[in-house]
Amino acid sequence: MVILMLGAQGTGKGTVAGLLSESLGWPQISTGDIFRKNIKEETPLGVEAKKYTTKGELVPDEITVPMVVDRLNEKDAQAGAILDGFPRNLAQAEKLDEILAQKGKKVDLVINLTSPKDEIITRILNRRVCSNQACKTTYNLTMHPPKEQGICDKCGAQIVQREDDCDEAAIQKRLELYDEKTLPLVEFYSQKGVLRTEEISEKTGRLGKEVAEDILQGIK
């Protein structure tokens, strides 16, 4: 089964995907993590990707798609996978359909997360992630803080703030870019009958844990 996570940054995709991954035993495949791994290892694709990430630009499809394909081919992704951050545009979505069809698979469920914009900005500014790349647990200082300040609950590594989570103006730009490039995917998957939209909001009290639990009930 292939699950996709849609939603602007800060809507809780990483949190919900992580909870689903933990319960189902399927890998949470994040393009951000794939980029960082390839950049750190200085693979040919990583070297090319770094030229764009350092300027705050989206990595072109001809670089992104091969990285994701390589990850989907790994053994732990054969039973099921949760794609977090891919596809980002219609061209990538169409290419993903093509790749999955070659494997006799398809996109089974698309979870589209929404949140009020003011909550998204506050959430991103308060977001922290585990510095251990084998863990990658996400925290929020106001909504989901670690038990011990600055320390990951799961592995004991230091939690840090990503550089691109510090600047409110940069966050606004990323949200505008999402609306322009990625929001059309909502209609694309809605027409395929696989879209499920969920709102995560402090105002309603419905957060990532509650959403993940409801989704799991429909899968199991």
Q: What is the mean pLDDT of each run of 10 residues along the chain (220 residues)?
A: 91 88 91 83 89 82 84 88 89 89 88 92 91 86 88 95 84 85 90 94 86 86
13 is catalytic: yes
162 is catalytic: yes
pLDDT for the residue numbered 197: 95
Give the C-alpha separation, 196 to 20, whole Å.
Answer: 15
pLDDT for the residue numbered 93: 93
pLDDT for the residue numbered 85: 81
pLDDT for the residue numbered 220: 63
Say how far residue 12 (Cα) sits from the centre of its chain: 8
- Asked if residue 94 lies in contact with residue 191, where contact means CB atoms within 8 angstroms, the answer is no
Who's near 202: CB < 8 A, 6+ residues apart? 119, 143
220 is catalytic: no
Q: Taking the CA atoms of 180, 7, 13 and 84 in sequence, report the sign of the dihedral they define.
A: negative
- Asked if residue 99 lies in contact with residue 1, where contact means CB atoms within 8 angstroms, the answer is no
Give the C-alpha separation, 57 to 8, whole Å.
Answer: 16
174 is catalytic: yes
Q: Is 105 exposed, middle or buried (0-12, 13-18, 19+ CB in 10 A)?
A: middle
Q: Which of 51, 103, 162, 203 is catalytic?
A: 162
Q: Taking the CA atoms of 37, 54, 129 and 14 in sequence, report the sign of the dihedral they define.
A: negative
Secondary structure of residue 207 in the 3-state scheme? coil
Give the C-alpha separation, 124 to 168, whole Å.
Answer: 9
128 is catalytic: no
Q: Which of 13, 71, 128, 136 is catalytic?
A: 13
Secondary structure of residue 111 in the 3-state scheme? strand
Give the C-alpha separation, 44 to 32, whole Å.
Answer: 17
Q: Which of 71, 123, 128, 174 is catalytic?
A: 174
Amino acid in position 73: N
Q: Which two tokens stand for residue 39?
A: 């950049």
pTM for the model stands at 0.77
- Asked if residue 53 lies in contact with residue 39, where contact means CB atoms within 8 angstroms, the answer is yes
Q: Which of 71, 88, 123, 136 is catalytic?
A: 88
Starting from the edge strand earliest in sequence, which strands make up the sheet with 195-199, in order? Answer: 28-30, 81-84, 2-6, 107-114, 195-199
What domains does the chain contain, in order, with CATH numbers?
2-116+170-219 (3.40.50.300)
